[in-house]
Chains A and B, each alone.
Chain A
Amino acid sequence: MIETLLAALVSGLVLGSLYALMASGLSVVWTTLGVFNFAHGALMMVGAFVAWTVSEAAGLGLLTGIAAGTLVAALLGVLIERLLVRPFYGHRSMLLITVMTTLAAMIILEKGAQIIWGARLKQLPRLIDGEVSILGATISAHEAVLVGLAPLILFAIWRFTLKTRTGRSLRAVGQNQNSAALIGIDVPVAFAIAFGLSAALAGLTGALLGSIRFITPVMGAEPLVKAMIVVIFGGLGSLGATAGAAYLIGLIEALLIVWLGLYWTPFVLFLMMIIVLVFRPNGIFGGKE
């Protein structure tokens, strides 16, 4: 019993790390631009495919591949901001329009990936071979890297937004665009940085996930949906609440899988989310707005 619980705890930690990386990317874009990026999962997928192409097809090594995946995703993120988000700045229905344009971006990226890379399943090698035992539960060393890396990345983003000039300017733009412009912050540049950063995060997550799961054009859809659940639980407003909710959801999911099995788990998660929203429209941790 205890062993099962511990195993669930550890696998919840792996899932939570994945969701935290995905959801914090969504949160960065949301807090800066007020845009919900539906293409976020597809950017993750692109990161995985590019990492595979560079590392496996071109044989340049896994680390080069991960770096390339991150970079290409970041560039695509900036491109999406430039072409699909920026034309609608200041529009009163910007939120809903960008939901639709980023959804279109998702379709384009997924179908584009299918055309470029085909439907055959691909997988990346692991960063480190072997297994690691945590609390008596065994996970692959690669998953352990993901678990260790996620908090570091989250911490780095948090410090970035809190302490650096650029990070602070992103927060300022998110809170009051006009005032930010009046102290000399270039608002469109801040938007592009936020989108690029968020997309880089997605690309990195995808490249890391490509060693654990199969790389397919639709691999981003499920993590995106889970990240949506996370942001609903945590609210979209703050990075800390989003990350906290991500680990919580990962844990709940892992426990539900143990108790209810693989089939009922997503159903219960969605049901929980809808119930949460009925009582707390801004999420469990989301206070204001």
Chain B
Amino acid sequence: MDNLLTVSGVTAGYGPITVLRGLSLHLGAGECIGLFGPNGHGKTTLLQTISGLIRPTSGSIEFDGRELTRLRPPHIVEAGLVQSPQGNTLFGDMRVQETLELAAFSKHARDDRQSNLEKVFALFPRLEERRPQKARTLSGGERQMLSIGCALMCAPRLLMLDEPTLGLSPRLKEELAQAVGSIAKEGIPLIVVEQDVEFLMALADRLYLIEHGEVVREIDRANAPDHDEVMRLYFGEAAG
């Protein structure tokens, strides 16, 4: 059992609506996994449940041998399990510099604040240029960078990215994809949710296809599907 993260049989949702139906997956030490599948089938809900924003009704989540299922978000971040949420506007009235400084909020993140800040600026030079600007005035791509930057400031031991390239132009998408790649190369384990399966396959060791709140297929390099099969997975049999 040297999994860093084990999600077993998690059922969760919003009030009366159940989204995740007994979902299980795992992530080994140093691994990078990708999640894909149609919208509204539970990928974001899964990340929110792992982060503690949503309480699962059953199942368990274990991180680094520690049970997290009943913990609240600040303690999960403290443990090193960090998320950069989807389409994030963050704190509109706070400046970039301020936001990044604040993001090193947990005790262990505070010690490495300065060096992490340098790392974030090295990764996203644009953020350094935008330091005195308020988050509200940033472009979509810059907000995405800030969001990932914030997550890095939390000193993650496992980083979850929810659609980091959503709604961006191809050029910016490329820029962010490269940044995500270099985060992975630094050795930070990743869980990446993406629509772009080819980007995921290039990045991740394994992929999970999530539909109706369940893992319906696990893909690793050994059984990697070709392009046509991916299209079929996505758009159903009709496309194949």
0/1 interface trace, chain A 151-179, chain B, CB 8 Å (1 if under): 00000000000000100110110011011
How many chain A residues have a CB neighbour from B under 8 Å?
17
**Closest Cβ of chain A: how far from B5's Cβ, in Å?**
16
**Docked CA distance A182–B52 (Å):** 9
The reply to whether B94 and A172 contact each other, CB–CB distance below 8 Å, is: yes
- Which residues from chain A contact B84 at a C-beta distance below 8 Å? 182
Which residues of B from 37 to 95 have beta carbons under 8 Å from A?
51-53, 72-74, 77-78, 82-85, 88-94
A185 to B83, CA, bound (A): 13
Contact B92 A182 (CB under 8 A): no
Report if A182-B105 is in contact (Cβ < 8 Å); known contacts: A168-B98, A176-B89: no
A185 partner, pick from B93, B98, B105, beta carbons under 8 A = B105
B102 touches A181 (CB 8 A): no
Chain B contacts of A168 at CB under 8 A?
94, 98, 101-102
A184 to B94, CA, bound (A): 17
Query: Does chain B have a CB within 8 A of A131?
Result: no
Which single member of B72, B78, B90 contacts A176 (CB below 8 Å)? B90
The 8 A CB mask of B147-158 against A (1 = contact, 0 = none) is: 000110110000
Contact for A183 among B72, B93, B105, CB less than 8 A: B105
How many angstroms from the CA of A240 to the CA of B86 in the assembled complex?
32
Count of B interface residues, CB-CB < 8 Å: 31
**B8 close to A (CB within 8 Å):** no
Contact, CB under 8 Å: A179 / B105: no
CB distance from A49 to the nearest CB of B (A): 37
Which chain A residue has the least Cβ–Cβ distance from B51?
Answer: A182
Considering the chains assembled together, what is the distance between the CA atoms of A186 and B91 in angstroms?
Answer: 16
Q: How far is the CB of A84 from chain B (nearest CB, A)?
A: 21
Please report the number of residue pairs spanning A and B whose Cβ atoms sit closer than 8 angstroms: 69
Chain A residue with minimal CB distance to B150? Answer: A183
Verify A171–B105 contact, CB threshold 8 A. no
Digit string of A113-144 for contact with B (CB within 8 Å is 1, else 0)?
00000000000000000000000000000000
Asked if A183 meets B103 with Cβ closer than 8 Å, knowing A168-B94, A168-B98, A175-B94, the reply is yes
In the complex, what residues of B have CB within 8 A of residue A179's CB? 85, 88-91, 150
* Known contacts A168-B98, A179-B88, A179-B91; is-contact A184 B53 (Cβ 8 Å): no
A184 touches B93 (CB 8 A): no
Determine if B109 is an interface residue (Cβ-Cβ < 8 Å): yes
- With A168-B102, A169-B102, A172-B102 given, is the CB distance from A181 to B74 under 8 Å? yes
Q: Inside 8 A of B109's CB, which chain A residues have their CB?
A: 184
**B106 contacts chain A at the CB level, 8 A cutoff:** yes
- Interface members, chain B 96-126 (any A CB < 8 Å): 98-99, 101-103, 105-106, 109
The complex places the Cα of A180 from the Cα of B153 at a distance, in Å, of 13
Neighbouring A residues of B51 by C-beta, 8 Å: 181-182
Closest 7 CB pairs of A and B: A184-B77, A181-B73, A184-B106, A175-B91, A186-B74, A184-B105, A183-B103
> Which residues of A line the B interface, CB within 8 A?
165, 168-169, 171-172, 175-176, 178-187
Question: What are 27 A-B contacts defined by CB distance under 8 Å?
Answer: A168-B94, A168-B101, A169-B102, A169-B105, A172-B94, A172-B99, A172-B102, A175-B92, A176-B90, A176-B91, A178-B53, A179-B85, A179-B88, A181-B51, A181-B52, A181-B74, A182-B51, A182-B73, A182-B83, A183-B82, A183-B151, A184-B73, A184-B77, A184-B78, A184-B106, A184-B109, A185-B74
Interface residues, chain B, CB within 8 Å of chain A? 51-53, 72-74, 77-78, 82-85, 88-94, 98-99, 101-103, 105-106, 109, 150-151, 153-154
